[in-house]
Copies of this chain bind each other. A is one copy, B any other.
Amino acid sequence: MTATSLLDAIAGVGRDTARGGYSRHGFDTVEMELREWFIAEAFDRGLEVETDRNGNIWAWWGTPGPDAVCTGSHLDSVPGGGAFDGPLGVACALEAVDLLRGQGFQPTRPVAIIVFAEEEGGRFGVPCLGSRLITGAIDPDKARRLTDSDGTTFADAVAKAGFDPARIGADPQALERIGVFVELHVEQGRDLEVPVGVATSILAHGRWRFSFTGEGNHAGTTLLTDRRDPMLPAAQLVLAARQAAASVQGSRATVGRLRPIPGGTNVIASTVDAWLDARSATDAETKAVVADVVARATEAAEAEGVRLTVTEESYGDTVWFDAQLAAQVSQWLGGVPALPTGAGHDAGILAAHVPTAMLFVRNPTGISHAPAEHAEPADCEEGARALATTLAKLAG
């Protein structure tokens, strides 16, 4: 079955009529439906399915064990995201198994498809939560306390999904079975001009929550001089993010999420929460951009008599994928180009522990994390074939 027809089968799941595109978040009813879909597809192929202590699903071709050749991605999305970011890697993995079986290929190493939980952090704020947990990159106590916008904790969400929240956290037994990991993903910029490429690196990136606390009051009766309005420094934060990023070559800094409380038209907000997403080529550059933004926001908050607290919600240093493996994969695929990316991935978390590579499928417009995200069916097929070739070389 082609990756495109697999994606077609879930095209109706989790559509966001308000935002457009899809809203599929870790352990919500929609993502649980996608998990069931994946498990059914794995069963259809006679794969052995297990879900680890952190809610990541493993589908095994061959006996589960060490030195496995693993691939996979995630099924969740950002709010109002596209159809490809995540599911394409899962669909191509299923198709790759079909293609290899069609060729009569017999793996000499176990092969597994892994579906990671809450990769986008769209619900609980921390991206790559499933891979962070399994690798011990996040303290399970901190993870249990994460809350979604309805106030549900990650612990409660995990429990509702049927897992024991007391057992989440580093899982070296599960992790040690991964001999090599290859994630296929739709490219998210406009840098790939052929159907398939391989990744060199991921920008150093993180998320910071800026919480501005002023004084809620009536928008009509409160004199300007009596105000402590947190919207003003929050607005300065938005502008500072762009200015700071523009001053460091190749950097990006974005405020895409901002929430005034209470959020009434005729009410001066009491609190504004805003999130900064910042990424640069190196750790030092990213931290310099963030320090610049924090300084400007702090100054703006003080000028308005507003209290500011800044919390780092996640951070990842620059990831350099295994250069030898990337060169080898590129060669197996006829010399496809290698390129860096600004997007975080579970592969970026795993890269600190196991040899890891990524395949990218061309994105004609560069649009991602939005309803218009797209990849041509022919490019998706070329991606699935490239993944099959790579798995065969690794597991043959």
- Taking Cβ atoms with an 8 Å cutoff, the residues of A that contact B are 16, 18-21, 23, 78-81, 120-122, 125, 127, 151, 187-190, 203, 205, 207, 215-224, 226, 229, 231-232, 234-239, 242, 245-246, 251-252, 254-270, 275, 277, 279, 313, 341-344, 366-372
- Extra A-B contacts (5), CB below 8 Å, given A219-B254, A231-B238: A19-B261, A79-B267, A207-B266, A221-B342, A256-B260
Q: Is the CB of B257 within 8 A of A370?
A: no
- In the complex, which residues of chain B have a beta carbon less than 8 angstroms from the beta carbon of A277? 219-220, 265-266
Q: State the 3 A-B residue pairs at the shortest beta-carbon distance, nearest first.
A: A80-B262, A216-B370, A220-B342
Q: Is the CB of A245 within 8 A of B224?
A: yes
Q: Is the CB of B369 within 8 A of A217?
A: yes
Q: Is the CB of A16 within 8 A of B262?
A: yes
Q: Name the residue of chain B whose CB is nearest to the CB of A304.
A: B242
* Residue among B239, B268, B341, B344 making CB contact with A256, cutoff 8 Å: B268
* Residue among B229, B256, B267 making CB contact with A369, cutoff 8 Å: B267
Measured in the bound complex, the distance between the Cα atoms of B325 and A189 in whole Å is 68
- In the complex, which residues of chain B have a beta carbon less than 8 angstroms from the beta carbon of A258? 231, 258, 260, 263
Q: Is the CB of A257 within 8 A of B252?
A: no
Q: Name the residue of chain B whose CB is nearest to the CB of A187.
A: B221
**How many copies, total?**
2
Q: Name the residue of chain B whose CB is nearest to the CB of A21.
A: B262
- In the complex, which residues of chain B have a beta carbon less than 8 angstroms from the beta carbon of A188? 218, 220-221
Most buried by B among A215, A258, A341: A258
Q: Is the CB of A235 within 8 A of B239?
A: yes
A-B contact pairs, 13 of them (CB 8 A): A18-B151, A120-B266, A122-B264, A205-B220, A215-B370, A219-B279, A220-B344, A221-B341, A224-B242, A234-B235, A254-B266, A265-B275, A267-B370
Q: Assuming A252-B222, A256-B231, A267-B79, is B366 touching A217 (CB within 8 A)?
A: yes
- In the complex, which residues of chain B have a beta carbon less than 8 angstroms from the beta carbon of A151? 18
Q: Assuming A224-B246, A260-B257, is B207 touching A265 (CB within 8 A)?
A: yes
Q: Is the CB of B80 within 8 A of A264?
A: yes
Q: Name the residue of chain B whose CB is nearest to the CB of A203.
A: B220
Q: Name the residue of chain B whose CB is nearest to the CB of A372.
A: B216
Measured in the bound complex, the distance between the Cα atoms of B203 and A180 in whole Å is 69
- In the complex, which residues of chain B have a beta carbon less than 8 angstroms from the beta carbon of A217? 366-370
* Residue among B221, B242, B265 making CB contact with A366, cutoff 8 Å: B221
Measured in the bound complex, the distance between the Cα atoms of B189 and A260 in whole Å is 22
